[in-house]
Amino acid sequence: MIAVDVKYMKMALELAEKGRGWTSPNPMVGAVVVRGSEVVGKGFHKKAGGPHAEIHALNDAGEKARGATLYVTLEPCNHAGKTPPCTGAILKSGIKRVVAGMKDPNPRVTGGGLAFLERHGLDVVSGVCEDECRRLNESFIKYSLTSLPFVILKCASTLDGYIATRTGDSKWITNPQSRQFAHELRHAVDAIVVGVGTVIKDNPRLTTRLEGRRCSDPIRIVLDTYLSIPDDARLLHLSSDSDTLIVTGHAIPEEKRKALEKSGVRFLTTDTEGDTIDLEALLRELGRMEITSLLIEGGSHVIGSAMRAGIVDKIYMFYGPRIYGGDDGVPVCAGPGVDSIADAIRLKRISVRRFGDDVLVEGYL
């Protein structure tokens, strides 16, 4: 791998990151045009339906693109969707070399962008900073291959494993820096899910709040088997561009449902297992709605059910420097666990970082 290629691909990755929270169901993509040792064009995909990163970068470069190298984090598209194929614009620009971070994983498109460009005489390289490019678009990759959302579980716990006291108090286990990062996660995903118990106890808004920044609110999803959500719950009375979706079983009071629908709340009726929503069936339904990423925020019954169902792809576990000191609080996971430690769920690709006195453990299942 050529060092200069790595340098400019990392620049393209930084550009791609600017689209986080705005491009779904499309991937985040960044592009850089380099002529000699001069960066002559930059661009990133800003929103679904808008021009792709390559087009922004080529427009920025103008005539200076002729004979230059295009660095792009994802293989240029060779199919017409809401926008024309990028491969045609690349040929027309006079670009002579294309370096891609990774190939397009989507089997539902014709693909072949790099092969097309190579057939037309361009020098083509793929796989530069591929691990970073794949991690950038891990939600897009999973959704492309499975039609299921990428599921992230976020939780804040005391050091001895409790998310609330016996009275239900949970404010605040972690510090403002950790909570700020949690809002970054909300901004990045398509939807956020909690159980109705969390709504009753905490009355959350489930919106994104990042001071001084324009934010994207995720779709708010409440798991509520029997439609017991209070009429005055804050998330039912928000000024937000995103929807509130209540997932129920089949036996719910129709009058309450109709009243909530009139206020703009959407409903999804799905299968249940006893009193619990079937999370695997729900995931399939959300995939059909083009929800590519889902953030689970609790409570303990939802977290436990999600872990037992095996639907979680990634975990962010925050630990505040507090010890509950008893055995009657609310644990991270409720419900039956495994019989032996050997059967416990093990994380992979673990990273650890600090937010002030808090510790965040990040890992994949």
Catalytic residue numbers, as ranges: 54
Peptide bond before 299: cis, by omega within 30 degrees of 0? yes
Helix (H, G, I), strand (E, B) or coil at 144: helix
- Could you give the CA distance from residue 71 to residue 78 in angstroms, rounded to a whole number? 16
Structure letter (DSSP) for residue 73:
S
Residue 342 burial class via C-beta count within 10 angstroms: exposed 0-12, middle 13-18, buried 19 and up: exposed
How far is residue 40 CA from its own chain's centroid?
A: 31
Inter-residue contact 360 to 320 (CB < 8 Å): no
Q: CB neighbours of 227 closer than 8 A, spacing ≥ 6?
A: 246, 248, 252, 253, 256, 257
Residue 174 burial class via C-beta count within 10 angstroms: exposed 0-12, middle 13-18, buried 19 and up: buried
Helix (H) or strand (E) holding 10: helix 3-17
Helix (H) or strand (E) holding 99: strand 97-100
- Could you give the CA distance from residue 97 to residue 121 in angstroms, rounded to a whole number? 9
- Could you give the CA distance from residue 135 to residue 174 in angstroms, rounded to a whole number? 26
Residue 11 burial class via C-beta count within 10 angstroms: exposed 0-12, middle 13-18, buried 19 and up: middle
Helix (H, G, I), strand (E, B) or coil at 353: strand
Helix (H, G, I), strand (E, B) or coil at 120: coil
